[in-house]
Amino acid sequence: MHPLREQARNLRQRGKSYHEIETRLGIGRSTLAYMLRDIQLTEVQKARLDRRQRRNQIHFGESQRRFWNKTSGRSDNPKQAARREIMRQRRLAYCHARTGAELETFKSKMRAAAARRYKPHNPIQPPRTLDQATYRMCLRQAPLLGYHPNWNYVISRGNGYVAVKCPDHPRCTPRGYVPVHRLVLECKLKRPLLSKEVTHHLNGKPDDNRADNVTNTNPSEHAKAHARPCLMNQLVCSFCGKSFTRPKRRKIPLSGNVFDTQSCVARFYNLGRIGRPSPRRLPPEEKRRRKAAYVRRWRQRRREALDKSTTTC
């Protein structure tokens, strides 16, 4: 018998795995499997190989399953059981500290989050939020605009909008996605949209991207379209008594004084000149007339004073 072959048989009889023999002797595992097919291993040796195999088998699903419900691969070693219990307690404490929830709730939450994150999409059909007519129109129109959306990669954003992979679009995100509503509008208008042009969903649903549901607006019009109606207060001016309206969000002060105009505020609190226009703004003849009247009044008063002093003396 070939010496290498003899060595291989020896090693196998001592319970070594094909991998161990391969690394030691340099014979391929398929060759070994053929050469050593008649050697039977004892139960102890088989258990050892099993353990080795399980130790090396760590892939995502398996490890996750083992992490959450430790049922497989358990030994009856009391020391290990105690360690398991400690780890379980620690996990519980961690879950509780982090979410305030018990382990079961935490688990279901984690599963729900994972399901949300890895929601599989149908690679052939466009998502249900796109109707067939819109989809077909975009398929026809988008190439005419110089780019082609890859409808295999349609994602739903967390904010309710839907984006499509379209890496040759001039305004795609760094990852190559373009919001579907913008693409639909571009296809409808048959021209690329400017960045200052805003697409508005008429029925308010951000994932309803039918061609007749999207319109082109500017930011100001769009803000108006989305503005909630302002609640108004019907009030009466504390100075002039006129009634006026004012947004409810503007607080009424503790004094209860409300004014319709700023001039009412000034006159109520006696600020500035009151009810008298600035003399500088008077026309010159009016200014002259007032000065003459003042002089006349001054002279009159002086004459009266002189008369009084002469009578008393």
φ and ψ at residue 259, rounded to 5 degrees: -135, 145
**Is residue 239 within the footprint of Zn ion (CB under 5 A)?**
yes
Choosing from 237, 246, 266, 267, the residue that interacts with Zn ion (CB under 5 A) is: 237
**Is residue 153 within the footprint of Zn ion (CB under 5 A)?**
no
Sole window of 27-35, 102-110, 125-133, 240-248 interacting with Zn ion (rule: CB under 5 A): 240-248
- Radius of gyration of the chain from its Cα atoms, rounded to whole angstroms: 44
**Is residue 260 within the footprint of Zn ion (CB under 5 A)?**
yes
Least distance from Zn ion to the Cβ atom of residue 140, Å: 26
Size of the site for Zn ion (CB under 5 A): 6
Least distance from Zn ion to the Cβ atom of residue 175, Å: 24
Element (H, E) at 190: none
**Is residue 264 within the footprint of Zn ion (CB under 5 A)?**
yes
Residue 179 CB contacts under 8 Å (≥ 6 apart), including other chains: 161, 162, 163, 199
Q: What tokens does 241 get? A: 């008594």
Q: What tokens does 287 get? A: 């200014």
CB 173 within 8 A of CB 144: no
**Is residue 200 within the footprint of Zn ion (CB under 5 A)?**
yes
| Cα 54 from Cα 59, distance rounded (Å) | 11
Q: Counting Cβ atoms within 10 Å, is residue 155 exposed (0-12), middle (13-18) or buried (19+)?
A: middle
**Is residue 181 within the footprint of Zn ion (CB under 5 A)?**
no
Binding to Zn ion, residues 96-125 (CB under 5 A): none
Chain centre to alpha carbon of residue 244:
41
**Is residue 32 within the footprint of Zn ion (CB under 5 A)?**
no
**Is residue 246 within the footprint of Zn ion (CB under 5 A)?**
no
Sole window of 101-109, 140-148, 166-174, 254-262 interacting with Zn ion (rule: CB under 5 A): 254-262
| Cα 241 from Cα 235, distance rounded (Å) | 9
Least distance from Zn ion to the Cβ atom of residue 238, Å: 8
**Is residue 185 within the footprint of Zn ion (CB under 5 A)?**
no
Report the interface residues with Zn ion, using CB under 5 A.
200, 237, 239-240, 260, 264
